[in-house]
Amino acid sequence: MTIEDTAADAPVRPSNIVIVGGGTAGWMTAAYLKAAFADRITITLVESAEVRTIGVGEATFSDIRHFFEFLRLEEHDWMPACNATYKLAVRFEDWREPGHHFYHPFEQLKSVDGFQLTDWWLRNPGSDRFDKDCFVMASLCDANRSPRYLDGSLIDQDFVEKPHQGGPSRSTIVDYQGAQFPYAYHFEARLLAQFLTKYATDRGVRHVVDNVVDVGLDERGWVSHVRTAEHGVLAGDLFVDCTGFRGLLLNKALGEPFVSYQDTLPNDSAVALQVPLDMDREPMRPCTTATAQAAGWIWTIPLISRIGTGYVYARDYCEPEEAERVLREFVGPTAAEVEANHIRMRIGRSERSWVNNCVAIGLSSGFVEPLESTGIFFIHHAVEQLVKYFPGGDWDPNLRTLYNRSVAHVTDGVREFLCLHYRGAKRADNQYWRDAQTRTVPDALEERLELWRTKVPDAMTVYPYYHGLPPYSYNCILLGTGGIPVRPSPGLELADERAALSEFQQIKAKAQKLVQELPTQNAFFARMRAS
């Protein structure tokens, strides 16, 4: 097929897909589409050897397990190859005040007599740790426990989510009453991309290493081809833009506007380090840690043999040199020889992620700061939606509309959730944190915040479209950050609290039992590496 043919023809059912970009987004997309459509599509993935991938993106949501399931991969197939570890929660340090911490775990909040446990806890707090009183996982995190026993079996089935109904969009069907899968993963993004390169090329994906130097459009403004420096023209029916913050096809060639979230989420920069970890000596936390700093926060992600760490900050409040100095001081001497990676972040989303025959997935579609590890979740969600709304021969525009709505809801919903972290943070020790308490938030969140002062978040009052975060997540951040006064429901004053007190006792007993029984993360992964 020549370019001229493609330009002149009406669009056809896409079976020839060109993916531009070989970062996490490009390879996750290639692997997932191959798993979904096998040889009924052809895929070419072109990536530049000169333009580096972002190289971070190491903590995930627990929904990521559906991605690996979809690819028919077991943990032992991919975890060792990606230096992966378990993640039970995000641990927030110093967001309320120095020395304070709380967890946002992968564990649904129980309800008793129609009221969430957080409601009951507000009526009669058993301790100053809502997270330990309401969730088992918080105790496991404090004790550095693995969610699996040394023989590989999982902690009890109460924690395992009920099977989803339906097709490929399994993770988008949320059952608020169901249990939550108890963990997600940390992994090396670079190694995951390598692993998926092999997975996808073994299944027939053509891999071209070259620079895309031009994007060709036909007379209707549809992408007809990309031109590479050394491999000539790559023509296709459907083009997936995975070029990262550049947005080479969607934003640059097609001119789709980017909607910035900068007014509500000002952190626009990061500096990252990869620090060696001696697993025989240093305890390994089974969680991502987000430690509040003077102009943002530092992530700490324990992997096999190294720690991924970085300072996410706002340039309006902190220079890159200062951010790097703070990060190195935070990490200590192990960071001395390690090179820093400075990253400028584009925060927000493309107005539409799918325009004509071009779909942007990954950073080219949208991104919010990685405070809740949502970047890879966005990619996973997007590629699930692409399969769900994959076009037919008539390229029905409704499919694009539905896709764009779904992707926009996820990004906008996560933005609201992140804004809550800053509005909620009690610390007000400098201008950055004082501004955080008064900064604009989306109007709908402002209304929700008003409601949450009276009644902690539930399914009625959180962002109403699927965005990966159930109401219990909002409860954790609201109660953990501590800056927004909340009160127990007045009706609870009249209720019999014995059943709730019994539930708190059961959580405590279960946590104690599991802390005694389960191995530490270090012990679990030492065993896994030895076998």
Q: Give me the least distance between CB of 346 and ligand FAD, in Å please.
A: 9
Q: How far apart are CA 342 and CA 335, in angstroms?
A: 15
- Token readout for 437 is 């308490």
Whether the CB-CB separation of 359 and 289 falls below 8 Å is answered with no
CA 276 to chain centre: 24
Complex with ligand FAD: residue 381 or 448, whichever CB lies closer: 381
Angle at 169 between CA 414 and CA 359, to 5 degrees: 70
DSSP tag of 80 = G
Could you give the CA distance from residue 83 to residue 94 in angstroms, rounded to a whole number? 29
Q: Residue 208: phi, psi to the nearest 5?
A: -115, 125
| Residue with token string 């550049």 | 246
Q: How far is CA 217 from CA 138, 224, 233, 253, 393, in A?
A: 53, 5, 13, 8, 19
Cβ nearer to ligand FAD, comparing 67 with 121: 67
Structure tokens at 459: 């399914």
**Closer to ligand FAD at the Cβ: 133 or 210?**
210
Residue (of 496, 483, 454, 459) closest to 122 by Cα position: 454
**Which CB, 323 or 425, lies closer to ligand FAD?**
323
Give the Cα separation of 192 and 183 in Å (integer): 18
Q: Which is nearer to ligand FAD, 54 or 518 (CB)?
A: 54
C-beta closer to ligand FAD: residue 362 or 413: 362
- Of residues 24 and 475, the one with the C-beta less far from ligand FAD: 24
Packed helices 375-388 and 397-424: angle between N→C axes, nearest 10 degrees: 160
| Minimum distance, C-beta of residue 436 to ligand FAD, in the bound complex (Å) | 19
- Candidates 212, 306, 173, 236; CA nearest to 33 is 236
129, containing H or E segment: none
**Nearer to ligand FAD (CB atom), residue 310 or residue 424:** 310
Is 34 tagged catalytic?
Answer: no
Catalytic residue among 87, 110, 132, 455: 87
**Identity of the residue numbered 120:** W
Is 118:491 a contact under the CB 8 Å cutoff?
no
- The shares of helix, strand and coil residues in the chain, as percent rounded to the nearest 5, are 40, 20, 40
* DSSP assigned state of 179: P
Measured from the CB of residue 51, what is the shortest distance to ligand FAD in angstroms? Answer: 4
**Residues forming the site for ligand FAD (CB under 6 A):** 20-26, 46-48, 51, 53-54, 56-60, 189, 211-212, 242-244, 246, 248, 270, 310, 343, 345, 362-364, 370, 373, 375-377, 379
Q: With the CA atoms of 277, 278, 281 and 284 taken in that order, what torsion angle do they form, in degrees rounded to the nearest 10? A: 40
Q: Nearest approach, Cβ of 3 to ligand FAD (angstroms)?
A: 18
| Residue 203 CB partners (closer than 8 Å, separation 6+) | 31, 34, 35, 38
- Taking the complex as a whole, the smallest distance from the CB of residue 131 to ligand FAD amounts, in Å, to 21
Q: Give the chain's end-to-end CA distance (angstroms, integer).
A: 51
The token duo for 217 is 């459009």
Taking the complex as a whole, the smallest distance from the CB of residue 488 to ligand FAD amounts, in Å, to 35
User: What is the nearest approach in angstroms of ligand FAD to the Cβ of residue 497?
Assistant: 39
Nearest-angstrom CA–CA distance, 457 and 314? 29
How far, in Å, CA of 469 to CA of 374, rounded?
Answer: 10
Report the residue number, 308 or 480, with the smaller CB distance to ligand FAD. Answer: 308
Least Cβ distance, residue 149 to ligand FAD (angstroms)? 27
Active site residues: 87
